[in-house]
Structure formats: structure tokens, C-alpha cells
Amino acid sequence: MRIDFHCHLFQPIDTRRMVEVGPMIFKGYGFYERMVKKFSEIQSIETKNIMEKTIFHLNSANIDKVVLLPVNMKENQEVKKWVEFAPDIFIPFYNPPEKSDADVNVKEEIEKAIVEENYKGFKIMLTFRKKRLNDQLIFPVLEAAQKYKIPIVMHCGYPPPGTRKNVLTYSNPIVIDEYASSFPKANIIITHMGYPFTDIAIALAAQYPNIHLDISNLAYMMPSRLKELLIKANEVIGVNKILFGSDGNTPEMIEIAVNYFDDVDFLTDEEIEKILGLNAAKLLNL
């Protein structure tokens, strides 16, 4: 079973047009020029149904299931539509309330999301809200993850290129050290292997059995660096705690990320399949 553990909701945009016009800020950037070339090699379909288009590229990439990660409360509701469209493919995660609000009982909202609405995990975006990952708002989430034994995907490291917010200031995963041992049954996933704080992320994963790393974004942003980081992580923690994630902004990027990862020549076939889905299946109890 192959699982993309880090996928966001796509917008129904004309990908070819987006790539051709492209944001001028990225002209000449290595990752952008490389992606333009890769898009020209990917066969897609013409449809206004973005979910249908996503499934087309999942099939092309030989991906069986996808964890959908909403980034705000509005997207929590949008995720449900995707799950209704293809319940055997899309796995819904939940973005909990991430700001103090006297009118919202965070614990009740979280319990309702898991028990009544059947979300399968959490996506934490505190670092985009100018909050570090030890903010008090994280503790109700940790308690629920511990109680229901469901994973928490935490944004760590650098944000998508062009994010004009000081996200990196708040994204060092070192603060997870403060509570990881207090919630041993709450499986925490550090995104992007914590890059550029990768050594810290690997050290945390070595220290705590419940900390895992995903490689989202790295496969297409910096494929040569990904090799270096995976070799380093494998030396310390092996591959059983590493998860594949695409983290693109179009369905085509799922296929591109998988193609990059499928081309690695420094892991065994068994190790590749663990990263590409078997590890995720265990975390999701599939």
C-alpha cells in the first residue's frame, strides 16, 4: 500500500497556464525551472473536477491513499467533500482552533471532530500564526491524540517558497522536546524533516519513539539534498519512522514527487516501500 501522508487541498486551476505564466519572483530559481520542465513531461486530463484530476494523478503515481491536510477551519469542511467523493482514497485530518477565543471550547471542538466527524488525525499550522509548537493551544490536541492514538502532523522548517511571513522564526522543532515524553502515545510527525533544522528533527526522532519525520516537499524542491538527508536519517533511526509526502500545490506534483523518490538508488526496494506507505499504514491503523 502506498500513501501520500502530506497533501493539501488543490484549487481548480489551469496548471499549464499557471506554469507558463509563473510568478516572476521565481524566474531563474533552480526548483522552478526544474518544475517547469517536469510539468511538460507529465500527462494530465482536462476536467473542472479537481478531485477527479487528483485521482488521475494518484493512479499515475501508483498511490493508493492520501492524507488530506486542511490549513484552516474552512478547509476542515472542504475536506469532507473530498472524502465523500472517494472515501477509499482520501483520509481526512483536522486543523484545530489555533487562536485564543473565549467563545470556542477547544477541547469540545476537538473531541467532536474525532468522535463524531471521524477525522483521522491533526494538522498543526501554529507556526503560520506566529506561534511556536509549545504554545498552550497544542496541549488539548496532544491530549486527544494520546487518548485516541491518532497522529499529529506539525509544520516545522521552511514554508512554501513565496510565503511572505516569518514562519521560519517559529518553526524550529526543538520545542517539541518539552512535551514529547509526556504524551508517548501521541504520534508526532515533523514535516519536511524539519529542514533546515534537520539534525534537530533526527535527534528528536532518535530520542522519542513517538516522533516521526516526513519528507514532504523535499523530493521536488531539493532531490540531491533529500538523498543526503535520508542517508543521514537512515544511519541514525533507520527508515521505519520516515513517511513520504508530496506537499505540492497541483495534482501533477504528487506524480512528480513520487517519480523523484522512485528513482532513488541508495535504498532497498523494501526500504522504499516502507517510506512510501507501509510506515504510514501502521500510524493510521490501516
65 vs 165: CA distance, rounded Å: 31
125 vs 12: CA distance, rounded Å: 23
pLDDT in tens, the chain (286 residues): 999 999 999 987 766 666 665 666 788 888 888 888 888 888 988 888 999 999 999 999 999 999 999 999 999 999 999 999 999 999 999 999 987 676 778 889 999 999 999 999 999 999 999 999 999 999 999 999 999 999 999 999 988 887 888 999 999 999 999 999 999 999 999 999 999 999 999 999 999 999 999 999 999 899 888 989 999 999 999 999 999 999 988 899 999 999 988 778 888 999 999 999 999 999 999 9
Contact 194, 216 (CB under 8 A): no
Q: What is the DSSP pairing of strand 242-243 with strand 3-7?
A: unpaired
For residue 70, what are the contacts with CB-CB under 8 A and spacing of at least 6?
A: 8, 9, 76, 78, 79, 93, 94, 95, 123
Burial class (CB in 10 A: 0-12, 13-18, 19+), 100: exposed
CA 146 to chain centre: 20
CB atoms within 10 A of CB 43: 9
Nearest to 133 by CA among 76, 180, 185: 180
**pLDDT at position 19:** 64
Q: What is the pTM of this model?
A: 0.94
Written as nine digits, the cell of 128 is 503560520
Identify the CATH number of the domain in which residue 170 sits: 3.20.20.140
Q: Which domain holds residue 108?
A: 3-283
| Cα separation values, 70 from 5, 37, 51, 93, 170, Å | 13, 29, 15, 7, 20
Burial class (CB in 10 A: 0-12, 13-18, 19+), 153: buried
**pLDDT at position 246:** 95
Cα angle for residues 77, 80, 86 (degrees, 5° grid): 155
Count: domains in the chain: 1
